[in-house]
Amino acid sequence: MPFYFDPSFIILIPALIISFAAQSQISSTFNKYSKVIGLNGYTGADVARMLLNSNGLSDIPVEIIPGKLTDHYDPKNRVMRLSEEVYYGTSVASIGVAAHETGHAFQHKAHYAPLEIRNTIVPAVNISSNASWVLFFLGIVFGIPAFAKIGVALFAAVVLFNLITLPVEFDASSRALKLLENKGILYHNEIKGARAVLNAAAMTYVAAALMAISQLIRLIIISRNRD
């Protein structure tokens, strides 16, 4: 059986390298600063609760969720979920991540436009992310250009979602760092550590956006070559 190499795959290589580097960076940075204990002795749960209460969000519960770096704010149910390591952790890394998630809660309260847009398109993107590949490959395999083009259009929605995510994540980190410093939760050198963790986390979203864009370009090239 002859080996076939798709030249369009080359388009993905830079994004794959960046994605691998970003994942390695967040893992190593989080591990590094998970060993640096905050001088105030607050846990991630303490910080989340403190910041939520001080911003009129005392009704939002802070819960534990399984896994590593699975922390997130659920805008639909208005719940803060922290991984066990972050929830109980007193490290600069845990505190930084917890504060970042509260930043999303503050965005939600303030009706921050990019977050509102992202939340609105989530259901459509969930459908598009799967349907796009099915329609695209059906179009290619069975020679139906219209299907392939619809698949490309649906995947463009996934790219849009990834792009909108960038300002949402950067803004949440900015809010978190300001709160940690202004409220004296972390001190100067600790703030540097928290910033390093959040910057590393932000790079994973940049990498995801680059990968999505690269995939879209590749799909467009493949579909045009089959026309």
Kindly report the CA angle at 69 between 63 and 73, in degrees rounded to 5?
45
| Dist CA 7 CA 2 (whole Å) | 16
User: Which of the residues 85, 101, 169, 190 is marked catalytic?
Assistant: 101
Give the DSSP letter string of 11-30: GGHHHHHHHHHHHHHHHHHH
Reply yes or no on whether 63 is catalytic.
no
| Dist CA 22 CA 205 (whole Å) | 9
Cβ-contact 65, 71 below 8 angstroms: yes
Structure tokens at 183: 């409220």
Q: Report helix angle 113-141 to 188-225, nearest 10.
A: 30
Active-site residue set: 101
